[in-house]
A = this chain, B = another copy of it.
Amino acid sequence: MNKNRLEAFSDGVMAIIITIMVLELKVPHGETLSDLRTVAPAFFAYVQSFWFVGVYWNNHHHMLHTVKKVNGNIMVLNMLLLFCLSLVPFATAWVGETSFAPVPVAVYAVVLATSGVAWVILQNAIKNSNPWSEAISKAMHRQNIKGLISTIMYLSGIVFAFINPFISEGLFVTVAIMWLWPDKNIEKAFERE
């Protein structure tokens, strides 16, 4: 019951985050193909962020499967994660409007890295109050390693943004590809439970 409402609220917030980003995709001023081309950086940033938030939603979905009992800690830390994710539209818009300038890309990387850290903290709180079975732990282990690599790549993205923002973008795209397909092991582990 408790959990359903937490899920519903998180789904609501993530659905809104993912959708209002398109409002930042400003309609071009002219009506030609070259006017459309001016939207290209914003569009690319949108695709990327849509994907990142989508992956978070998908993983959140899995993580909450392991929750039997929601407590205050989980509530607050879940709110913290949603807060970090709520900054994605802002960072995306800034990156898009400046066509991948160094500071905006670094800020984007900070938002992604912070979300990653918020995720780990939330997951630990969940694990502590809702111990995982060995099968789930094992399945989640691989995902956690992917999460760790992602966070390291985001953190590197902050540094590289000041050298060449496109290196950072390359890192983000790599992370996105890494998460492209949901982990079958997790699915199987959950099914067996």
Complex partner residue of A79 from B36, B54, B101, CB under 8 angstroms: B54
A24 to chain B, nearest CB (A): 8
A82-117 interface (Cβ within 8 A of B): 82-83, 86-87, 89-90, 93-94, 97-98, 101-104, 107
Q: Size band of the A side of the interface?
A: 35 or more
A145 sits at the interface (CB 8 A): no
Contact B103 A31 (CB under 8 A): yes
> Which of B19, B51, B89, B102 contacts A22 (CB under 8 A)?
B89
Interface residues of A in 169-193 (CB under 8 A from B): 180-184, 187
Chain B nearest CB, measured from A161 CB (Å) = 11
Q: Given A75-B58, A75-B182, A86-B50 in contact, is the A11-B5 Cβ separation under 8 Å? A: yes
Interface 1/0 per residue, A30-70 and B, CB below 8 Å: 01110110000000000100110010011001000000000
Q: Is A131's CB within 8 Å of the partner chain B?
A: no
Q: Is the interface of A mostly helix, strand, loop or mixed?
A: helix
Instruction: Please indicate the chain B residues that have their CB under 8 angstroms from the CB of A155 in the complex.
Output: none
Specify which chain B residues have a CB less than 8 angstroms from the CB of A75 in the assembled complex.
58, 182
* A132 contacts B by Cβ under 8 Å: no
Contact A93-B8, Cβ < 8 Å, known A13-B18, A20-B19:
no
A18 CB → nearest B CB, Å: 7
Docked pose: A8 CA to B9 CA in angstroms? 9
Q: Does A16 make an interface contact (CB < 8 A)?
A: yes
Q: Do A72 and B181 touch (CB < 8 A)?
A: yes
B-contacting residues of A (Cβ < 8 Å)? Answer: 2, 5, 7-9, 11-20, 22-25, 27-28, 31-33, 35-36, 47, 50-51, 54, 57-58, 61, 71-72, 75-76, 79, 82-83, 86-87, 89-90, 93-94, 97-98, 101-104, 107, 180-184, 187
